[in-house]
């Protein structure tokens, strides 16, 4: 370990010294919003003479290298902002920051722009994602990503993302560099990210650069707003289930700023009928649910252009239920939440080498508490289950424009973790189960990764990014490691752009869950001496076409992914059975998976409207030795066709119309395909078989395969209307949003029930009635919200 660190820092020094000796001219700097001073992520710095450009990183930073100092024409642009055209002469290395003005079209706003399509990466401006109509009228950046090709959600309304055949735990969700394990509020109906506090969200679904690792399927990199460093600004939102407040402003003008946001969701309003019933009737249950998010961020810009950021996030959910019977009083409290903190310092070593140092802490904890007491007041018993995971990490990344056409990056990541998958304490006046203490096992793995990558513009039309990552993992006496090669080739040819990519990825954590609800019952568990780490290989390729006017863009991408060492619950395991005390004995291991798909996207963008069409054709399956008789079976959320339309259009000067249409093939489900009379499934029943005159009354279901039937296709239409109010003095703008979720009231199955009835006549069975029915959770939901800014 020490050798690795020494080697790494020596490498850093060598790079900074080596590359600062080159006879190139460097242009470095940041691109900012003129009004707020917020760094712009993904802004383009384009050199028309060289037909070459770079985009700013997640800190708004860019870096260019020229072979000679002759005057250079530069175009600095960002969607929704006025472009800067300038000519620079570089007699020496320079640091220049650009500040872009918002286009003078306040009613259109940047929300009608969605950024350029990129290979394997989805980076849609937050304002555009916020314009997509959502459940309860609350913008949700994570769910909005599911309207893009290659991404889908599991159960309706939930936030678990399935990216290119992966599972939600295979997405690395980073909030200012800190990992967020459970991104769900309110049983998955809302993500934990307050859209008002978020500046940028980027989803990488393939061709991963070597700097990213630790998950198999995607990287969701989320950056909080830094805060307005010019003026104080506030924003208050009142909605059906959500209210939020954002405050930001300068601490020291142009150099340091703060951002604070708070959001509370009170699903208890929808559960109000049960609360009223609780007061009136003793035997009626009482339920309520609340969640909250708090985001903080501070940043400071030093005179030497170095920057430091400190940010934190706290979010929790609480679900309470009370029930009273004739003799007892029951209480259940569920709670879960994330806490993250990160400290980031970006600095330069000379003019040539840029560095980022990031220290993070994050924790995810869930608690389930059940209590029963007698009406007389004496305690009958209580049950407490806790699950937690805590990480402390340090990351160091350095990058350098080594040559005019070569950028090198390298870095190291250190990660200390503590898992307590399930800790149970139980008190009972009836019986004692000391054996449950066996569950309270704690794992303390340590992992580190070392990586290097080179981005090489071999020709003006050919760009190659090649990298290698070494991931090592240690838990107790077990050590595991992977070499992870990465390759990304881009070819530009006029209006066309071609890409081919390969990525090997590994992951040392697993999520034990069979749903996408983000429930408290989901267990994050580490790789152990018994449970192998999972890994994957992904091949992808694609074409992007941009019309000369940039009005239309088309992309066509394909992928093929192999997954290894997948886990799943054993057949017939009851997830809520407290006797399943050792999770390692409840799982099937060494599963493999195959996912392949074709993704299409067409996007049209004008000043008045923005529309995209996204379609994914995919196939996703799994294989375990002891599941489905060892044969391949479809992954539950394998959706063969996934089609989305998203439109935002300005109606009149102050009105904006949003439309979203979703069509998905139904998800798979395991159901009986036949039934017969006779004891055919239970060993105890088999042994007790006795012949019965006149027939046999026991019915046996025949389930022939895992995920053997598809539910009806899912589709819905959402609409929204937004009215912007701007006073004559342009102070205190406000916004009123009306939305309709599932506008034509499609009854999409949410919960599936099977039922069996027996009809008697003259004491004899004359008919069996077997039915399957579904419950649609959200038939038609109107919502209204009001936002005031100052």
Partner 1 sequence: MTNCYNYLRNILCICILFITLFRCDSNVIGKLKSDYEGDKITLTGFLTTDTILLIIGKSTEAFGNVSPDEFKAKNPQVFIESEDGHFRHTFFSSDGIHFSAGKIGLLAEKSYKLTVTAADLPTVETAFIEIPENITIENLKTIAIPGSGRITNEISFSIQDKSNPNYYFFDVGIQKGTSQNTAPFWVPEDGIADNCYSVFAFQDLCFNGKVINLTYRLSPDGYFKGFNGLQVADSIIIRFGGVSKEVYLSQLAVPIDDGFIEGINEPPLTYSNVKNGYGVVFAHSLQDYVVTTVK
* Burial bucket for residue 772 (CB in 10 Å: 0-12, 13-18, 19+): middle
Looking at 20, 95, 776, 788, which residue binds partner 1 (CB under 8 A)? 776
Establish if 429 lies at the interface with partner 1 (CB under 8 A).
no
Closest approach of partner 1 to the CB of residue 441, in Å: 17
Nearer to partner 1, 98 or 637 (CB): 637
Residue 600's alpha-carbon distances to 375, 612, 640, 717, in angstroms, are 62, 10, 14, 20
Partnered with residue 663 across adjacent β-strands are 643, 715
* Residue number with CB closer to partner 1 (13 or 745): 745
Closest approach of partner 1 to the CB of residue 572, in Å: 5
Burial of 549 (0-12, 13-18, 19+ CB in 10 A): exposed
Stretch touching partner 1 by CB under 8 A, among 42-50, 418-426, 537-545, 768-776:
768-776
Q: Which is nearer to partner 1, 430 or 477 (CB)?
A: 430
Is the distance from CB of 604 to CB of 551 less than 8 angstroms? yes
Binding segment (CB under 8 A) for partner 1, from list 1-9, 110-118, 298-306, 648-656: 648-656
- When the beta carbons of 511 and 543 are compared against partner 1, the nearer one is 511
Q: Is 97 helix (H, G, I), strand (E, B) or coil?
A: coil
Q: Rank residues 30 and 624 by Cβ distance to partner 1 and give the closer one.
A: 624
CA atoms of 146 and 143, how far apart (whole Å): 5
In the range 134-163, which residues lie near partner 1 by CB under 8 A?
155
Q: Kindly indicate which of the ranges 227-235, 251-259, 474-482, 698-706 contains the residues binding partner 1, using the contact rule CB under 8 A.
A: 698-706
Q: Measured from the CB of residue 604, what is the shortest distance to partner 1 in angstroms?
A: 23
Answer yes or no: are the C-beta atoms of 585 and 577 closer than 8 Å: no
- For residue 774, state whether it binds partner 1 (rule: CB under 8 A): yes
Could you tell me the smallest distance in angstroms from the CB atom of residue 348 to partner 1? Answer: 51
Which parts of 481-540 interact with partner 1 (CB under 8 A)? 514-515, 517
Within positions 582 to 641, which residues make up the interface with partner 1, using CB under 8 A?
585, 628-629
Nearer to partner 1 (CB atom), residue 417 or residue 628: 628
780 binds partner 1 (CB under 8 A): yes
569 counts as binding partner 1 under rule CB under 8 A: yes
Out of 669, 715, 786, 788, the residue judged to bind partner 1 by CB under 8 A: 669
Beta strands in 582-686 (DSSP E): 587-605, 609-623, 633-634, 641-652, 655-664, 668-669, 674-677
432 versus 551: smaller Cβ distance to partner 1: 432
> 19 in helix, strand or coil?
helix
Q: Enter the tokens of residue 252.
A: 């020291």
The residue within the footprint of partner 1, chosen from 302, 552, 655, 790 (CB under 8 A), is 655
* 314 near partner 1, judged by CB under 8 A: no
Q: Which of residues 361-420 bind partner 1 (CB under 8 A)?
A: none
Contact with partner 1 (CB under 8 A) among 318, 596, 672, 789 = 672
- Which of 367, 670, 733, 734 forms a contact with partner 1 (CB under 8 A)? 670
Q: Which stretch binds partner 1 (CB under 8 A): 120-128, 250-258, 372-380, 748-756?
A: 748-756
Q: Tell whether residue 781 is a contact of partner 1 (CB under 8 A).
A: yes
Residue 673 interacting with partner 1 (CB under 8 A): yes
- Residue among 700, 715, 786, 788 that touches partner 1 (CB under 8 A): 700
Q: Is 276 in the site for partner 1 (CB under 8 A)?
A: no
Cβ contact 175:338 at 8 Å: no
Instruction: Say if strands 218-224 and 751-761 run parallel, antiparallel, or are unpaired.
Output: unpaired
Residue of 296, 294, 298, 321 lying closest to 309 (CA atoms): 298
Query: Which span sits near partner 1 by CB under 8 A: 117-125, 194-202, 490-498, 767-775?
Result: 767-775
Taking alpha carbons only, the member of 447, 450, 452, 510 closest to residue 480 is 447
Q: Which of 503, 514, 527 is nearest to 445 (CA)?
A: 527
Q: Which residues of 483-495 are buried (b: 16+ CB within 10 A; e: fewer)?
A: ebebbbbbebeee
Q: Are 559 and 538 in contact (CB under 8 A)?
A: yes
Token pair 């930001």: residue = 248
Q: With contact defined as beta carbons under 8 Å apart, do 695 and 684 qualify?
A: no
Interacting residues of 249 by C-beta distance below 8 A, sequence separation 6+: 227, 228, 231, 232, 233, 257, 258
Give me the torsion for CA of 725, 248, 246, 234, rounded to 10°: -30
Exactly one of 150, 186, 749, 787 binds partner 1 (CB under 8 A); that residue is 749
**Min separation Cβ 367 and partner 1, Å:** 20
- Pairing relationship of beta strands 25-33 and 94-95 according to DSSP bridges: parallel
Binders of partner 1 among 707-746, rule CB under 8 A? 708-712, 719, 721, 738, 740, 745
* H or E segment to which residue 457 belongs: strand 446-459
Among 3, 87, 687, 763, binds partner 1 (CB under 8 A): 687
**Residue among 326, 434, 652, 762 that touches partner 1 (CB under 8 A):** 652
762 in contact with partner 1 (CB under 8 A): no
Q: Is 434 in the site for partner 1 (CB under 8 A)?
A: no
């Amino acid at each position: 370990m020490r050798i690795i660190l020494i080697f790494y820092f020596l490498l850093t020094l060598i790079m900074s010294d080596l590359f600062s000796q080159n006879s190139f001219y460097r242009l470095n700097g940041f691109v900012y919003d003129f009004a707020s001073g917020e760094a712009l992520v993904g802004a383009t710095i384009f050199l028309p003479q060289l037909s070459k450009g770079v985009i700013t990183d997640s800190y708004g930073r860019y870096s260019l290298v020229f072979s000679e100092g002759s005057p250079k024409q530069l175009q600095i642009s960002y969607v929704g902002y006025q472009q800067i055209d300038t000519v620079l002469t570089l007699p020496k290395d320079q640091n220049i920051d650009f500040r872009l003005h918002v286009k003078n079209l306040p009613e259109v706003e940047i929300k009608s722009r969605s950024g350029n399509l990129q290979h394997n990466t989805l980076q849609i401006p937050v304002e555009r994602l916020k314009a997509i109509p959502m459940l309860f009228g609350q913008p949700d950046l994570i769910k909005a990503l599911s309207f893009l090709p290659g991404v889908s959600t599991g159960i309706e309304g939930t936030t678990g993302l399935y990216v290119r055949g992966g599972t939600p735990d295979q997405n690395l969700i980073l909030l200012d560099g800190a990992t967020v394990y459970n991104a769900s509020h309110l049983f998955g109906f809302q993500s934990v990210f307050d859209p008002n506090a978020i500046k940028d969200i980027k989803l990488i679904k393939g061709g991963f650069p070597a700097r990213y690792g630790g998950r198999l399927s995607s990287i969701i990199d989320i950056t909080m707003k830094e805060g307005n460093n010019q003026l104080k600004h506030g924003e208050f939102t009142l909605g059906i289930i959500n209210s939020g407040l954002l405050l930001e402003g300068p601490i020291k003008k142009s150099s340091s700023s703060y951002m604070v946001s708070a959001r509370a969701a009170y699903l208890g309003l929808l559960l109000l009928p049960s609360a009223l019933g609780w007061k009136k009737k003793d035997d009626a249950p009482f339920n309520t649910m609340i969640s909250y998010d708090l985001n903080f961020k501070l940043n400071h810009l030093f005179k030497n252009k170095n920057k430091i950021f400190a940010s934190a996030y706290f979010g929790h959910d609480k679900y309470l239920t009370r029930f009273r019977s004739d003799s007892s009083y029951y209480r259940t409290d569920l709670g879960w939440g994330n806490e993250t903190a990160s400290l980031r310092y970006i600095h330069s070593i000379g003019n040539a080498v840029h560095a980022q140092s990031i220290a993070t802490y994050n924790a995810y904890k869930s608690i389930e508490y059940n209590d029963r007491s007698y009406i007389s007041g004496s305690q009958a018993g209580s049950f407490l289950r806790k699950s937690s995971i805590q990480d402390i990490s340090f990351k160091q990344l350095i990058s350098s424009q080594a040559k005019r056409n070569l950028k090198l990056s390298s870095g190291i990541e250190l990660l200390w973790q503590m898992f307590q998958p399930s800790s149970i304490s139980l008190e009972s006046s009836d019986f004692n189960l000391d054996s449950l203490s066996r569950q309270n096992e704690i794992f303390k793995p340590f992992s580190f990764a070392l990586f290097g990558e080179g981005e090489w513009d071999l020709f003006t039309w050919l760009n190659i990014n090649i990298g290698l990552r070494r991931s090592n993992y240690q838990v107790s006496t077990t050590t595991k490691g992977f070499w992870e090669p990465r390759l990304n080739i881009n070819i530009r040819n006029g209006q066309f752009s071609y890409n081919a990519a390969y990525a090997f990825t590994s992951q040392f954590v697993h999520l034990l869950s069979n749903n996408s609800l983000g429930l408290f019952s989901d267990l994050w568990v580490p790789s152990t001496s018994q449970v192998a780490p999972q890994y994957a290989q992904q091949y992808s390729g694609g074409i992007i076409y941009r019309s000369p006017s940039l009005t239309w863009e088309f992309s066509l991408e394909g992928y093929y992914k192999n997954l290894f060492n997948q886990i799943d619950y054993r057949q017939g395991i009851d997830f809520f059975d407290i006797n399943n005390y050792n999770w390692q004995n409840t799982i099937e291991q060494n599963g493999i998976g195959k996912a392949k798909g074709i993704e299409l996207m067409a996007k049209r963008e004008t000043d008045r409207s923005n529309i995209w069409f996204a379609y994914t054709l995919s196939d996703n399956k799994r294989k375990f030795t002891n599941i489905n008789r060892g044969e391949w079976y479809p992954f539950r959320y394998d959706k063969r066709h996934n089609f989305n339309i998203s439109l935002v259009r300005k109606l009149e000067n102050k009105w904006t119309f949003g439309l979203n249409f979703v069509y998905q093939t139904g998800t798979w489900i395991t159901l009986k395909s036949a039934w017969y009379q006779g004891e055919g499934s239970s060993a105890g029943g088999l042994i007790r078989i006795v012949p019965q005159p006149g027939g046999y009354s026991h019915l046996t279901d025949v389930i022939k395969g895992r995920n053997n039937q598809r539910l009806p296709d899912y589709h819905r239409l959402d609409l929204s209307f937004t009215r912007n109010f701007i006073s004559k003095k342009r102070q205190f703008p406000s916004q009123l949003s009306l939305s309709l979720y599932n506008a034509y009231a499609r009854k999409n199955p949410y919960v599936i029930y099977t039922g069996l009835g027996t009809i008697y006549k003259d004491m004899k069975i004359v008919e069996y009635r077997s039915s399957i029915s579904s419950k649609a959770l959200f038939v038609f939901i109107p919502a209204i919200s009001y936002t005031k800014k100052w």
